[in-house]
Amino acid sequence: MCGAPCLLVLVLAETMGLAAASEPTSPTFPAAPARASDSPSEPKHWAFVPPVRPAIPRVIDRSWPRNPIDFFILSKLEQHGLRPSREADKVTLLRRLTFDLTGLPPTPKEIDSFQNDSSESAYDKQVERLLASSRYGVRWAQHWLDLVRYADSDGYESDRIRPHSWRYRDWVVYALNRDMPYNAFVREQLAGDEIVPDDPLASIATGFLRCYPDARDPNPEMRRYNALTDITETTSLVFLGLTVGCARCHDHKYDPIAQSDFYKFQAFFSGAHFTDDKPIATPAQRLDHGRRTAAWSDQVARILSGVIRIEAAGRLALAPGPPPDAGSEFATAFQKAESERSPRDIVLIFETQRRDRRVSHKALSARLDPRSIAERSELLYRLEELVNSAPAPLPLASVVDETETTAPATYVLRRGELNARRELVQPGFPEALCRDATSSAPVIPPSSHTTGRRRALADWLVRPDNPLTARVIVNRLWQQHFGVGIVASASDFGLAGESPSHPELLDWLAVELTAKGWSLKELHRLMVKSASYRQASAGNRAALELDPDNTLAWRHNRRRLDAEEIRDALLFVSGQLNLARGGPPFDPAGKRDSPFPSSKPADDTRRSLYLIIRRSRHDPFLETFDRPDAHASCSRRPTTSVTTQALTMINGRLTHRSARALAARVTRDSGNGHADQLEHAYRLALGRSPDPAETRLGLRFLEKSPLEDLMLCLFNLNEFLCVD
C-alpha cells in the first residue's frame, strides 16, 4: 500500500520544495539587556518586582505597527538593523488564525469568504468570529489541561478511573468560552467553594486541586502529604511560574525561596478535603429530579403491586407465612392494605418475595392460569422498560471543599520527610514576592464553614501588586501564538529561567491585562491582530545570520500541529468529526471493558479533548506526536521528528480510515472527474487549489491509483501537518 503513495509524496515534496518543519540550530542569541532590577544595587530579581506600564517605544517606520505590540517588536528590530517580514497571504493567515484559536482548519467556504472580502476590517471580522466560536474553548482548554496535568485516572500501578473528573475539563471549556476574567478563573479553581459556596460550577472549578496523580498509598497520612506536596508544586508553577517545589527538602538553590516558604505555601491547602463524588446539583435540579424520581417510583410501584396481587394466591398455597429471612419491616408492610402501602413498602415486599427460596418460578407459574401468566409477563416487560428509563442520578464531581474552620498543623520537614518534623508554620506567601516579611504573613479570618486559607491565597495571587500572575499568563498566551514565550521558560520566571527577550513588552501586556478587566480574549485580540503576528514565516539571509532563532520576532515561527490538532484535522477534513461538546470522555480501546461505555459509534470521532486520558495507558497516535505525560505539569510541548510519526501517517489505521472517508466525500461533492476531484481534495486538505505542476502529477497518479491513495499523500505533506 505504501509504494505509490510514498512515491507521490517524494515527487510532490521535490517538486514543491517542501522542507521539514524544523528550525535551524544556532548559537544562543545574546540575552536581552539587563533591567534595573537585575543590577547589583537591586536586591530583587526583575520578575519579583510588580510590573509597571512602560512607555510605548519610538520607532523609525511608523507605517508598520498596527497596535502597541508592534512598536515594542519593531523597536528591537531597528536597534539590530533588521526589518520585519512581509505580511503572510490571506490563505496562510486564515489557516494560522483558525488553528491557533480553534484547533481546526478553515473550510473552503470560510477561505473564499475571507479572500473575497476586500474591506479593511476583513481580518478583524475573522478574529471576532473565531473568538466567538465554541470551538475556541475546546482548543484553549487543552493548553490549560496540559498545565494542570489533567487526567481521567489516578496513575501509578492501579491507575483507577476518576469517573467524575471530566466535569472540571468541561468547566474549563465553559469558562474560556464565556471569557471569564482571569482573576476569577484563578480564584474559583483555588477556592470556588469558599468564594461562592452555593454555586455548583464554582465547586467544580476546584477540580484543579484534584488533578494530582494518586498512588493511593496505604498510609493515609503519607497519601495526603503526597497530594498536598503535588498541589503546592503545581499551583506555584501554573500561576506564578516559579519552581517553589524545589524548596521542599532544602532552600531553593537559585531563587530566594527558603524551605520554610514551601511549607508556608502548603499550609494554605492543609484544610482541604478531597471528594470524588460531591453532589453538585443546583436547587432547581434537585427539585426537578425529586419530582421525576417520585413519578417514576409511583409507576414502578403500580406495576409491582400488580405482580404481587397476581402471585398472592399461588405464593400462599406454596409457602404460607413470611419468607424465613423477612424482617419485621416486611411484616409491617405486608399487613397493610394494598392502597395504604408506600412505594418503598411495595419494593420491599416484591424483593423479599423474589428471594424466597421456598417458591420456585416454575412451581409458581404452575399455580397461575394462562391469563394471569400473560398479565404478569406484560407487567414484567413494562417494569424492565421503566428500569431502563430511570431518571439519571444527580451530577457528581471531583472537588475540594472544607468542613471545618480550623486546619491541621503544618510543619517544616527535614529533607522533606514526613516523620521528620521541625518548626510549626502558618500560611504565608514567598517573601521574595512581597514588600516585606510582614506582608508575607496574612491574617486569615475563617468563614462560617471553612478556614478561609485558600481564598486568601487566591486573592493574593490576583492582587494588582502581585509581580508574577499577570506576567505568567500573558507569556503563556504569547507562547501559543508565537511559538515561544517572551520568557522561553514559561513555568520558570526565577533566576535559573530564561531572560525575557522583550521585557518592556511583557510588562506592558501584563498591565494591559489587568486594565482590560483580566480578559484573555482581549489579549488574544491584541496579539493576533498585530502586524507581528501577521508576518510570513519565510526567512531572509541577513536576519537568519544575525538572529537564527528568531528571538527578535522578525518573522512568524512555523510550527507543526500538535497531536490533537492532527487527529482532529484528519477527521474534520474527511467529514467524520463529531463536534459535540461536553460529557464523559470516550474510550476507543473498547466498548465492553470501558469505564465510560457508549453505544454511539460517533463518540469515537469526537474531538481529541474528549478522548479519555489514562496516565498508565496512552493513546498511541497522540503519544507518537508528543502528547505530554499527565503525571506532571507541561508548560510547552516538545516537537520531535521521529520515524514512527512518518510510519503512523503512512500506515496508521486513523489516516487510512480518514483517507477513505475523504475520498468518498470528494467523490460525493465533485463527481468522478479527476480534475474536479483533485481541486476539491486540495481545497479541503490544504485550503488552496493545486498549482499546475501538482495538477499534472496528481492527474497522472489518478490514472493508475485509487483516489484514496492520493488523499493519503495529501495527509502526509508537511503543508497539512504544519502551520506557516
Task: Read off the pLDDT of residues 550-563 as tens digits, 9 standing for 90 and up.
Answer: 999 999 999 999 99
Query: Residue ranges per domain, the chain?
Result: 3-19+643-723, 67-87+468-558, 181-278+411-467, 283-388
Amino acid at 674: H
Comparing CA positions, the residue from 266, 185, 169 lying closest to residue 227 is 266
Contact between 311 and 353 under an 8 Å Cβ cutoff? The reply is yes
Q: Is the dihedral of CA 652, 653, 655, 656 positive or negative?
A: positive
Contact between 141 and 169 under an 8 Å Cβ cutoff? The reply is yes
Residue 240 DSSP label: I
Alpha-carbon distance 306 to 300, whole Å?
Answer: 10
Residues of the chain where predicted confidence (pLDDT) is lower than 70: 1-43, 590-594, 597-599
> Torsions phi, psi of 498, nearest 5?
-75, 150
What is the pLDDT, as a whole number, of residue 38?
A: 39
**What cell does 26 get?**
544556532
Contact between 433 and 48 under an 8 Å Cβ cutoff? The reply is yes
Residue 518 DSSP label: T
What is the pLDDT, as a whole number, of residue 24?
A: 36
What is the pLDDT, as a whole number, of residue 588?
A: 81
Alpha-carbon distance 396 to 705, whole Å?
Answer: 53
What is the pLDDT, as a whole number, of residue 17?
A: 38
Residues in the chain: 724
**DSSP 3-state of 413:** strand
Alpha-carbon distance 413 to 424, whole Å?
Answer: 9
Alpha-carbon distance 557 to 656, whole Å?
Answer: 30
pLDDT tens profile 79-94: 999 999 999 999 999 9
Contact between 140 and 133 under an 8 Å Cβ cutoff? The reply is no
Characterize the bridge pairing of strands 273-279 and 396-401: antiparallel
As beta bridge partners, residue 723 has 559
| CB neighbour list of residue 647: distance below 8 Å, 6 or more residues apart | none
What is the pLDDT, as a whole number, of residue 13?
A: 40
What is the pLDDT, as a whole number, of residue 675?
A: 96
What is the pLDDT, as a whole number, of residue 313?
A: 87
**What cell does 543 get?**
536576519
What is the pLDDT, as a whole number, of residue 42?
A: 52
Contact between 72 and 505 under an 8 Å Cβ cutoff? The reply is yes
**What cell does 266 get?**
502548603
Write the DSSP assignment of 449-487 as a string of letters. Answer: SS--HHHHHHHHHTSTT-SSHHHHHHHHHHHHHHSS-SS
Residue 238 DSSP label: I
Contact between 175 and 446 under an 8 Å Cβ cutoff? The reply is no
Alpha-carbon distance 315 to 595, whole Å?
Answer: 41
Comparing CA positions, the residue from 525, 535, 549 lying closest to residue 477 is 525
Amino acid at 351: E
What is the pLDDT, as a whole number, of residue 6?
A: 41
**What cell does 152 get?**
481521567
Overall pTM > 0.75 = yes
Catalogue the E-assigned strands of 250-376: 273-279
